[in-house]
């Protein structure tokens, strides 16, 4: 009787672990699909497009570190230096940080 009880208990826990893994996979795949399907808004929507075979120059956003195509980036000139941002929110956050640092110096 104890062998049968152990076997049933083992199968129960295998089923619970399998169901938990399946549920977590479905939740995370749903989250990833939703984040991938949300279109990003850009101010420079009318940027010229290049042929598919042409290479593009990627620039790094100094605020969040995201690499963005130079033609799609939001440009900001600061002290003679041109900086590129992935979005208006990142540009505004960067200028806010810069103002705080200048005020503390």
Q: Is residue 53 part of a domain?
A: no
Q: Which residues are bridge partners to 76 per DSSP?
A: 83
Alpha-helical runs (H) found in 1-105: 2-37, 88-104
48 is a domain residue: no
* Domain enclosing residue 79, as ranges: 58-104
Residues 100 and 63 occupy one common structural domain: yes
Residue 63 maps to a domain:
yes
Quote the number of domains for the chain.
2
Of the candidates 44, 52, 104, the one whose C-alpha atom is nearest the C-alpha of residue 70 is 44
Answer whether residue 45 is part of any domain: no
pLDDT for 97 equals 80
Cα separation, 47 vs 49, in Å, equals 6
Whole-number pLDDT of residue 102:
67
Q: What is the pLDDT along the chain (105 residues), one digit of tens a residue?
A: 699 999 999 999 999 999 999 999 988 887 777 766 655 555 555 555 555 556 688 999 988 888 999 888 888 888 888 999 998 999 899 888 877 666 666
pLDDT confidence of residue 63: 87
Same domain, 100 and 65: yes
Residue 75 lies in a domain: yes
**Among candidates 40, 39, 32, 87, which has minimal Cα distance to 64?**
87
């Amino acid at each position: 009787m104890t062998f049968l009880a152990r076997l049933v208990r083992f199968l129960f826990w295998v089923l619970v672990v399998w169901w938990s893994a399946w549920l977590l996979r479905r939740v995370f795949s749903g989250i990833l699909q939703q984040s991938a399907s949300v279109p990003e808004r850009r101010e420079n929507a009318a940027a010229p497009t290049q042929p598919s075979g042409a290479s593009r120059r990627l620039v790094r956003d100094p605020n969040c570190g995201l690499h963005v195509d130079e033609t799609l980036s939001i440009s900001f000139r600061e002290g003679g230096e041109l900086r590129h941002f992935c979005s208006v929110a990142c540009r505004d956050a960067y200028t806010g940080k810069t103002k705080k640092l200048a005020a503390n110096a």
